[in-house]
A = this chain, B = another copy of it.
Amino acid sequence: MSPVRGARERARIEVTAAIKDEARRALAAEGAAKLSLRAVARELGMVSSALYRYFPSRDELLTALIVDAYDSVGAAAEAADARTLAAGAAPRARWIAVCQAVRAWALEHPHEYALIYGSPVPGYTAPLDTIGPASRVGNALIGIARAAHEGRGIALPPLPAELRPEAVRMAGHFAEGLPPEVTAALVAAWAQLFGLVSFELFGQFTRIVEDRDAFFAHAADQLAHGVGLPAV
């Protein structure tokens, strides 16, 4: 693990990165279902069998791209949160900043977004390695709600009786310390945030929403309201 290793190790790191970069480019052209090792190799000037030195199969390459994408959007969300937090912002402003960061990342990386939040690739099942990275955006949102709860507190109407046990379970499972009604609202808002982004990216807003920045800013603010974050 010394920082400088031999030419072999450095080359391996570089080539692995080059393969993933080229695969991301291929994703944009053809989509995940048609991602082709041969096309990637061809573009890199390698022979297709050489890729097997780096990824044991096409699916492993896909997994690497998925993990990278989750980490990328997760890091963008965390960075936006850290920035607003450092600027002394209230939870509501942090929430909006995270939503904006997710949307901005999605607009910059539409094909990686589709890879992780679009239809699943048929015949591919995500391995467990993706779970951690996949939860980073959600965890950022949970952290913001927790800050609001531990600060001024969050007041939300009580849950219907049918949902209470599930909400208690969810809170205990991944949102320790948050009241069940906040946890339930949070999970819904999390899914709804990606609904807004997906509709914009996947073309459902064509001829429907034109000023998308203004629309999204308001919608994100309303999501924060739904989670009970006090207005600024």
| Copies of this chain held together in the complex | 2
B160 touches A203 (CB 8 A): no
B207 touches A131 (CB 8 A): yes
The count of residues in chain A whose C-beta lies closer than 8 Å to any C-beta of chain B is 59
- In the complex formed, the residue of B with least CB distance to A231 is B157
A165 interface residue (CB < 8 Å to B): yes
A108 interface residue (CB < 8 Å to B): no
Q: Which of A16-24, A46-54, A57-65, A212-220 contacts B (4 or more CB under 8 A)?
A: A212-220
Tell me which of A34, A188, A200 has the highest count of chain B C-beta atoms within 10 A of its own C-beta. Answer: A188
A209 touches B119 (CB 8 A): no
Please measure, in the bound complex, the distance between the C-alpha atom of A205 and the C-alpha atom of B120, giving whole angstroms.
13
Q: Given A34-B33, A119-B31, A209–B170 Cβ distance below 8 Å?
A: yes
B198 touches A166 (CB 8 A): no
Residues of B within 8 A of A87 (CB): none
Please measure, in the bound complex, the distance between the C-alpha atom of A217 and the C-alpha atom of B160, giving whole angstroms.
10
B215 touches A187 (CB 8 A): yes
A165 touches B209 (CB 8 A): no
A79 interface residue (CB < 8 Å to B): no
